[in-house]
Amino acid sequence: MTIAVGDKLPDVKLMKAGESGPEPVQTADYFAGKKVALFSVPGAFTPTCSAKHLPGFVDKAGDLKAKGIDEIACTAVNDAFVMGAWGKASGSSDITMLADGNADFAKAVDLVMDGSGFGMGTRGQRFSMVVNDGVVEQLNVEEPGTFEVSSAEHMLNQL
User: Can you give the residue ranges of every domain in the chain?
Assistant: 13-158
Higher pLDDT, 117 or 72: 72
0.85 exceeded by pTM? yes
Residue 95: count of CB within 10 angstroms of its CB: 20
Q: Judge residue 107's burial from the number of C-beta atoms within 10 Å of its C-beta, 0-12 exposed, 13-18 middle, 19 or more buried.
A: middle
Evaluate if residue 145 carries a pLDDT over 90: no
Which sequence positions are flagged as catalytic? 49
Give the model's pLDDT for residue 93: 87
Confidence of residue 38 (pLDDT cuts 50, 70, 90): very high
Give domain 13-158's CATH superfamily.
Answer: Glutaredoxin (3.40.30.10)
Instruction: Compute the mean pLDDT over every residue in the chain, rounded to the nearest whole number.
Output: 92
Evaluate if residue 82 carries a pLDDT over 90: yes
Among candidate residues 85, 78, 7, 75, the one with its CA nearest the CA of residue 37: 75
Residue 152: count of CB within 10 angstroms of its CB: 23
Give the model's pLDDT for residue 87: 93
